[in-house]
Amino acid sequence: MQVVLKGVEMRLAKFKGPKDLAKTFSKEVSLELFRRICLCRNFELNVKRAISGKKIPRIFTYLSLGQESATSAISLSFPDTMTWPSFVPRFGQHRCHDLYLCYGASPEKLRDELLGLPIGCAGGMGGSASIHSPETGMFGHDGHMGTQVKIGVGYALGSGLKTLIVMGDASAEEGYVLGALGEAASKKAPTLFVCMDNNLSILTEVKVRRSWTMSDEAKAKGMPAYDVPDDPWFIMDCVTKLKDKLPAFLNIHYCRELWHEGPGCDGPPEWNRYELVKTQLIFLGLKSEVEMIENSTAHYIENLWEDVLSPIKERV
């Protein structure tokens, strides 16, 4: 089967990973990767349907459809881990449903948070953009672009724990982000910085906003940095190389599938990493396992969201 990677040819040609890298990972790792991808993706598809069907409040909602492959890969390699659930200190941006889910935090509590219920992971007060669940390692975003970076650096320096800090390509341009990178490099903070780069600040492309790259900025401050596509096997390989050389920086190029905020869509993405991952797994001879994971995960999440149709008071 020939896969046409139009987007990769246009935007990612110079960031291609090693050929056949997926073959170097065990069957168990690749299938667990796909399970986490399916968990995030099905959760987000059901959020999209619930918003479109006016089943949950129409508040600001930032869906992570398109970046779930990258986040799933990170969760399997930083700090170690096939452990599920896994406590990893992580400071996310506004688009962070996947970051919450990929380390094994409760989908039910995230659902209830999006519904504004007091039994949600942040007591119904955080919503989509500020998912807070410190008992699982997830620290909520305060709404100001990029502040999670400096707060996360402080946490890493104070605790000594390996800490994951995620930002977008627009937040990365904030002055206190760049300053925090310098502080992390100077004091050897045990931090992995990840920039989820969809090439857009709402609709404004990176080339309009700046003439420099975040990976070059990180290197200039003295930390190792990679520019990579959202190929999950390549990401796992890169994170494995970086996680003992912290602080380090990873700029991941991916396609946002929906609008900056909300369930709207202006057409198909440049490339669909989910379908590319499925194609690769089938090529590796895992078709039956892929179908089983895909179907069972979809069924589980659909059942979870069926509760939205019942009276809210029954679940409070």
Cα–Cα nearest to 196, from 99, 111, 114: 99
Return all residues near 230 (Cβ < 8 A) that are at least 6 apart. 67, 69, 70, 252, 253, 254, 255, 273
In angstroms, rounded to a whole number, what is the distance separating the alpha carbons of residues 66 and 258?
Answer: 8
Q: What is the pLDDT of residues 188-237, one digit of tens each?
A: 999 999 999 999 888 889 999 999 999 999 999 999 999 999 999 999 99
pLDDT digits (tens, 9 = 90+) for 132-180: 999 999 999 888 889 999 999 999 999 999 999 999 999 999 999 999 9
Handedness of CA 39, 44, 45, 50 (dihedral sign): positive
CATH numbers and ranges of domains, the chain: 6-256+269-315 (3.40.50.970)
**What 3-state DSSP class applies to 62?**
coil
The residues, ordered by sequence, that sit 6+ positions from 167 with a Cβ below 8 Å of its Cβ are 93, 146, 148, 149, 177, 193, 194, 195, 196
Quote the pTM value: 0.91
